[in-house]
Amino acid sequence: MNPDNNQLTNQFLIAMPGMQDPNFSRTLSFVCEHSAGGAMGIIINRPAELVLGDILDQLSYNTGSEIVYRQPVYHGGPLQPERGFVIHSDNSVWDSTMAVSEHISVTTSRDILEAIAKGEGPANILMALGYAGWGPGQLEAELSDNVWLSGPASDEILFRAPAEQRLALAASQLGIDLNLISTQAGHA
């Protein structure tokens, strides 16, 4: 693999119906980074039993916006589940921001949460706790084994589609109905 090869960055990973790992069964992940060193993604369709207001309250950031307060928080993955990740729709620079594309970034610093509470944050956000990670070559091997499908990320799915529809919508962008795929993988 070319060390500069990041073809899966800013892509969706669609868990195939035969996915056995309960951490990823029926998930849609957003790939934030992919390189020869591995990959990092955030699950975007598994809501936690928290809303953004719960986190803002813990940090003593008061918000007057019911819309911000009620925004769902997602289980982003099994790694560092206590750490927050904000996927957002602009490349504003916060204390700890990683650009994923020209218009999507991921921020892990508290300053973005304070700005969101004040109504000064990015227009589109998705808050997750934890992330998913793959070692060098691991994700490529899983794709080769038909564990995942990959496809282009979409702002509509990422920020606006209901969580329970995101997986099917991402698959339908590829012309695939996951309900029609067998859970048994085979190789010729």
Among left, alpha and beta (phi > 0; psi -120 to 50; other), residue 69 is alpha
Domain holding 126, by residue range, is 11-180
Give a yes or no: residue 4 inside a domain.
Answer: no
pLDDT for 144 beyond 90: yes
The total domain count for the chain is: 1
Structural tokens at position 166: 């995101």
| pLDDT tens per residue, range 68-108 | 999 999 999 999 999 999 999 987 879 999 999 999 999 99
Give a yes or no: residue 2 inside a domain.
Answer: no
- At 45, the pLDDT band (50, 70, 90 cuts) reads very high
- According to the model, what pLDDT value does residue 5 have? 54
Q: What is the CATH number of the domain that holds 75?
A: 3.40.1740.10
Rounded CA-CA distance 51/179 in Å is 30
Give a yes or no: residue 105 inside a domain.
Answer: yes
Give a yes or no: residue 152 inside a domain.
Answer: yes
| pLDDT tens per residue, range 170-180 | 999 999 998 88
The lowest-confidence range among 5-19, 45-59, 98-112, 174-188 is 174-188
Give a yes or no: residue 187 inside a domain.
Answer: no
- At 182, the pLDDT band (50, 70, 90 cuts) reads low
Give a yes or no: residue 185 inside a domain.
Answer: no
What mean pLDDT comes out for the span 149-171?
96
Give a yes or no: residue 104 inside a domain.
Answer: yes
pLDDT for 1 beyond 80: no
pLDDT for 164 beyond 60: yes
The pTM of this model reads 0.91
DSSP code string of 91-104: ----TTEEE-SSS-
pLDDT for 186 beyond 60: no
Give a yes or no: residue 141 inside a domain.
Answer: yes
